[in-house]
Chain A
Amino acid sequence: MKRVAGFLIGLIVALLLTAFAGENPWNVFLILMKSAFGSMYDLGLTLSYTTPLIFCGLSVAVGFHAGLFNIGAEGQLTMAVVTAAAVGVLFPNIPFPLAPVVAFVAAILMGSFWGWIAGWLRAYRGSHEVIITIMLNFIAAGLASWFTLQIIPNPNSQNPETAVVSANYMFKDYDLIARLFPDTPANASLGFALVFAVLLWVFLWKTTWGYGLRAVGSNAEAAHRGGISEKKVQMLAMALAGAFAGCVALSEVLGSAGQYRIGFSPDYGFIGIAVALLANNNPLGIVAAAFLMGALHKGASDLDLETTTITRDFSRIIQALIILGVTAQGYWSWMKSKRRKN
């Protein structure tokens, strides 16, 4: 309840800010709502943003549960998406059911490898994962650009993107969600995202591995005396985080675009941090938080057209205030103590 209230407080404060720009906050709110949920098309776009945000939220949350701050979801998903596209372009003849599976497995392996690097460095070299993952983000961006432009560029386009994978890599023909929202990138990977969220929840709370992971996140020294290796957990957690981020390949390459386009991600990896925070790292909460963030992102895209003074970047301000509203739980206890005094 507190989280929902904090969310509303953040949203209301953000909307009130628009009054300073000469807009009617209520009007801005209506634009946001209409743009996010106004038609099946709008809802489809909202859902297409939601899916990668769920994956990235799960990625960041796994890290947090192990006491690690994964800022590298962006790099991990970039590596994975390029890998999926590369498999699709370089091995065009794999038959249908197998092809997307191969590409997907390759993508999450690459993503988890990219995450594991940071986990390994943390475990054995003591390098802080925040620094390492930030640097890996840059490396990933550089590698992806080089690979895209030099190795598998799109021969039919001037845009910085890879060639399109062959049709046997796409599951569009069997995709009920895509059929429900025609002309939008929404696709069946949303279903995978929901399943993965449940799986992560089971993993964290119902398995010995998840228990060990959370134990290290809570108190590494106590966990060690309980026979849980901090090093192993750090590597496992970062590899898992990378794998979840890597799932973005599913929604982006195999589900909709069929290629890697440089700059396709509006910083999903970073918004994923906000999603995880908003949901207090609860995998099921992440689904809801990702939907809210997806809606905000889509809703704000029409602010450019519909208002005279506010641009789509305003969604960043709303995001920031919502995070403040939700995470600054301190004021609840402050209000409580205030009430007692009176």
Chain B
Amino acid sequence: MIIPAIEFKGVSKFFGEVRANEDISFSVAPGTIHGIVGENGAGKSTAMKILFGLYQPDGGEILLHGKPVQFASPLDAMAAKVGMVHQHFMLAEPYTALDNILLQQKGSAFSLLPRQKQAVRLQEIAERYGFNLNLDAKVEDLSVGEQQRLEILKILSQNSEILILDEPTAVLTPQEVQDLFKNLKHLKEEGKTILIITHKLREVMTLTDAVTVFRAGRVIGSKATAQTHPEELAEMMVGRRLQKPQERSTVVDTSRAVLSFDKVYAQLGNHSIHEISLKVHAREIVGVAGVEGNGQDVLIRALLDRHALKKDSVMGTIETAGVIGSFPEDRLRFGVLQGRPVYENFILGQHKSSTFARGIFLKVKDIVSRTREIMETYDIRPRNPLLAFEKLSGGNQQKLVVARALSQKPPVVIAAQPTRGVDIGAIEFIHNELRKARDEGAGILLISSELDELMALSDRIVILFKGRLVKEFTRAEFDEIALGTAMGCGK
């Protein structure tokens, strides 16, 4: 029998009352790519941080190649040839790629080499693994994909045998994801063992050899990828069967536009949009796809926060048929009143409606009971309207924000990143709510960085590239590669 490269044996980690990891046991064969999947807060990252020495376990042990190890810090882990690429890159932006790698090497034999030789050695490593990168470029000038390559190169330069990648695809375009996967497979052939945290099941299926599912701090099971399928994994992650989304039974009401842009130009800071002309009809979901930073933020803010833009920095006309229900792209910044109870957050925007106010007086009792009802229907936990809003988990916060926007049955809905940072169960729920709103007659503008989400919900997808709408796809034309290409180069 092959000795596993990594073996978790009954590892536990508690943060106060919270059991982040409980009795985690699984093993990873050497020279394989192993997926770690689970919902937010399932304990994936905690387990990986224990492996990387960032946390010390409260119980159990970790074996590398059959030998028990105990890492007091990441330095120990790196010395044992374990490297980690964090979800948020750990790079010094004003320095060059080479400097960033050398920064990590402080004190090693490698760092004693003359700089010229170091550069040559690194170039060799980069070429060997197919990580093409201009080592003399400053980090701030590199694209996100290149920065990620740099992070991986950093680890490879230490001769790491075990690589941990935390949600590596979250920030990449579909093309970059493909490149990354090609490179990772290449690394596997070189004999490296790779652990990849993700919650995208399709990636697990295409990339990994085996997969371990986490739920609520425990390991639910490990599977060989070839012997499982996404539905089974999703069920393991969520703990129940997910419904298949049904094809829509209603049709777009093309005779009635509820939101229309006519040659809209707007500018905010360095970002701008140009000549945006777009109509959203009743019972229609229009998806806006694009790599982040191509004007999505300006589009949303021109629509919702006209006051935040300078005078004369908006031109063209935007027409809406009535109230806009919106969920913000950045929940904490635009969506919630921190430190205030759930019910006060729920009525934001509707606080003057006759349901919640009589004259200038708030009907506090009615508000609280209505909020409790909504928390019931939307399954928001814990079910206490008086609780401070930030005591809710991210998924529950987002559900409340969605409930707030949709419960007033607005004719126009702006759904910006409706499921960012939300787990599978809540995603399913929010998607269904959006479909329901659509069927009831709302026109929805969906702005998302998740292609899966856009393709699942939209009737049309428009591509925003450098502030312009460059292309439009109808539902029949949806194709990940074509959409990805359009997002990446505007064609």
Q: Which of A151-209 contact B (CB under 8 A)?
A: 205-209
Q: Is B307 an interface residue (CB 8 A)?
A: yes
Cα distance A230–B306 in the bound complex, in angstroms: 13
Is the pair B305, A218 in contact by a Cβ cutoff of 8 Å? no
Is the pair A211, B344 in contact by a Cβ cutoff of 8 Å? yes
Is the pair B307, A222 in contact by a Cβ cutoff of 8 Å? no
Q: Counting chain A CB atoms within 10 Å of each CB, which of B335, B344, B349, B364 scores highest? A: B349
Q: Is B336 an interface residue (CB 8 A)?
A: yes
Interface size class of A (residues with CB under 8 A): 20 to 34
In the complex, what residues of A have CB within 8 A of residue B357's CB? Answer: 208
Task: Assess A222 versus B362: contact at CB under 8 Å? Given A208-B351, A214-B340, A215-B348.
Answer: no
Is the pair A218, B334 in contact by a Cβ cutoff of 8 Å? no
Q: Is B360 an interface residue (CB 8 A)?
A: yes
In the complex, what residues of A have CB within 8 A of residue B38's CB? Answer: none
Is the pair B352, A225 in contact by a Cβ cutoff of 8 Å? no
In the complex, what residues of B have CB within 8 A of residue A222's CB? Answer: 328, 333-337, 348
Is the pair B338, A207 in contact by a Cβ cutoff of 8 Å? no
Q: Is B16 an interface residue (CB 8 A)?
A: yes
Q: Which of B322-364 contact A (CB under 8 A)?
A: 326, 328, 333-340, 344, 347-349, 351-352, 357, 360-362, 364
Is the pair B333, A211 in contact by a Cβ cutoff of 8 Å? no
Q: Is A340 an interface residue (CB 8 A)?
A: yes
**The residue from B305, B338, B340 contacting A224, defined by CB atoms under 8 A apart:** B305
Q: Counting chain A CB atoms within 10 Å of each CB, which of B305, B308, B334 scores highest? A: B334
Q: Is B72 an interface residue (CB 8 A)?
A: no
Is the pair A226, B362 in contact by a Cβ cutoff of 8 Å? no
In the complex, what residues of A have CB within 8 A of residue B361's CB? Answer: 206-208
Q: Is A266 an interface residue (CB 8 A)?
A: no
Cα distance A122–B19 in the bound complex, in angstroms: 47
In the complex, what residues of A have CB within 8 A of residue B337's CB? Answer: 214-215, 218-219, 222-223
Looking at the assembled complex, report how far the CB atom of B484 sits from the nearest CB atom of chain A, in whole angstroms: 31
Is the pair A218, B360 in contact by a Cβ cutoff of 8 Å? no
Query: How many B residues face the partner with a CB closer than 8 A?
Result: 26
Q: Is B304 an interface residue (CB 8 A)?
A: yes
Q: Which of A288-342 contact B (CB under 8 A)?
A: 340
**The residue from B334, B351, B364 contacting A225, defined by CB atoms under 8 A apart:** B334
In the complex, what residues of B have CB within 8 A of residue A219's CB? Answer: 333, 336-338
In the complex, what residues of A have CB within 8 A of residue B360's CB? Answer: 207-209
Cα distance A223–B328 in the bound complex, in angstroms: 12
Looking at the assembled complex, report how far the CB atom of A329 sits from the nearest CB atom of chain B, in whole angstroms: 14
Is the pair A225, B305 in contact by a Cβ cutoff of 8 Å? yes
Cα distance A230–B351 in the bound complex, in angstroms: 16
Looking at the assembled complex, report how far the CB atom of A292 sits from the nearest CB atom of chain B, in whole angstroms: 25
Is the pair A225, B349 in contact by a Cβ cutoff of 8 Å? yes
Q: Counting chain B CB atoms within 10 Å of each CB, which of A205, A218, A222, A223 scores highest? A: A222
Cα distance A215–B361 in the bound complex, in angstroms: 16
In the complex, what residues of B have CB within 8 A of residue A221's CB? Answer: 305, 308, 333-334
In the complex, what residues of B have CB within 8 A of residue A211's CB? Answer: 344, 347, 351, 362
In the complex, what residues of B have CB within 8 A of residue A126's CB? Answer: none
Q: Is A227 an interface residue (CB 8 A)?
A: yes
Q: Is A212 an interface residue (CB 8 A)?
A: yes
Looking at the assembled complex, report how far the CB atom of A216 sits from the nearest CB atom of chain B, in whole angstroms: 9
Cα distance A131–B352 in the bound complex, in angstroms: 34
Cα distance A208–B355 in the bound complex, in angstroms: 12
Cα distance A209–B334 in the bound complex, in angstroms: 20
In the complex, what residues of A have CB within 8 A of residue B364's CB? Answer: 205-206
Closest-by-CB residue of A relative to B327 is A225
The 8 A CB mask of A217-252 against B (1 = contact, 0 = none) is 011011111110010000000000000000000000
Cα distance A340–B348 in the bound complex, in angstroms: 39
Cα distance A286–B338 in the bound complex, in angstroms: 23
Cα distance A208–B338 in the bound complex, in angstroms: 18
Is the pair A224, B362 in contact by a Cβ cutoff of 8 Å? no
In the complex, what residues of B have CB within 8 A of residue A214's CB? Answer: 337, 340, 344
Closest-by-CB residue of A relative to B367 is A211
Task: Assess A226 versus B351: contact at CB under 8 Å? Given A207-B360, A208-B362.
Answer: yes
Looking at the assembled complex, report how far the CB atom of A45 sits from the nearest CB atom of chain B, in whole angstroms: 38
Task: Assess A223 versus B348: contact at CB under 8 Å? Given A206-B364, A207-B362.
Answer: yes
Q: Counting chain A CB atoms within 10 Å of each CB, which of B304, B328, B336, B340 scores highest? A: B340
Is the pair B328, A218 in contact by a Cβ cutoff of 8 Å? no
Is the pair A218, B340 in contact by a Cβ cutoff of 8 Å? yes
Looking at the assembled complex, report how far the CB atom of A19 sits from the nearest CB atom of chain B, in whole angstroms: 40
List 7 A-B residue pairs with CB atoms under 8 Å apart, sorted by A's residue number.
A211-B362, A215-B340, A218-B338, A222-B333, A222-B337, A225-B335, A225-B349
Nearest 9 Cβ contacts at the A-B interface? A226-B349, A226-B348, A218-B337, A207-B360, A208-B357, A221-B334, A219-B337, A208-B352, A211-B351
Task: With A208-B362, A221-B308 given, name 8 new contacts (CB 8 A).
Answer: A215-B337, A215-B344, A221-B305, A225-B328, A225-B349, A226-B349, A227-B349, A230-B307
